[in-house]
Amino acid sequence: MNNKDIWIFLFLSGMLCFNWPFLEIFAESLPLYFFLAWPGFILIMILLSTRKSADHDPDVDV
């Protein structure tokens, strides 16, 4: 998967995880789900963005 495919996959999985049918599964513990899933997606985005920027660092000689 290239960089664009990963971001599209992350966007679509976020839409799925925070959409009504999937939220109905966690109806009893919805606040806990939001407090765990939302920072999880943010952490994944941070890890992906720093990994890609570290891979393409022009100052590093190979």
Q: What is the pTM of this model?
A: 0.67
3-state secondary structure of 28: coil
pLDDT tens figures, 1-49 = 677 888 899 999 999 999 998 889 988 999 999 999 999 999 999 998 8
Name the residue with tokens 């570290």: 54
Rounded to whole angstroms, the Cα distance separating 3 from 59 reads: 21
